Amino acid sequence: MRIKITKSLVLSAQAFNRDNQAEDIFPAGEYLANLTPEGKIEITNTKKIKALFSFSQFREKISLGEFIVIEV
């Protein structure tokens, strides 16, 4: 699926080449979002950094207007 982040957000994220979690900026724009085998929604930015959300966290971001689902 594709989503749009409406404003730049600092999200808890993990880089593909490191094991520890950090916070990273996800600038406003469009991103790919995938469902993981664990049932989380993974959003990947262009720097190969991913943020994971539960369905309730993802739904909250949508209700706040921070995320817009563009394509399922």
41 contacts 31 by C-beta, under 8 angstroms: no
Q: Which of 20, 42, 48, 44 is nearest to 30 (CA)?
A: 44
Q: Residues 16-20: what's their mean pLDDT?
A: 56
Quote the pLDDT of residue 57: 93
pTM for this prediction: 0.80
> What is the distance in angstroms between the CA of the first residue and the CA of the last residue of the chain?
4
Cα angle: 65, vertex 2, 27; to 5 degrees: 60
Chain segment 21-67, per-residue pLDDT in tens: 566 788 899 999 999 999 999 998 866 788 889 999 999 999 999 99
Amino acid occupying residue 62: I
pLDDT of 9:
87
| Residue pointed to by tokens 């990947």 | 44
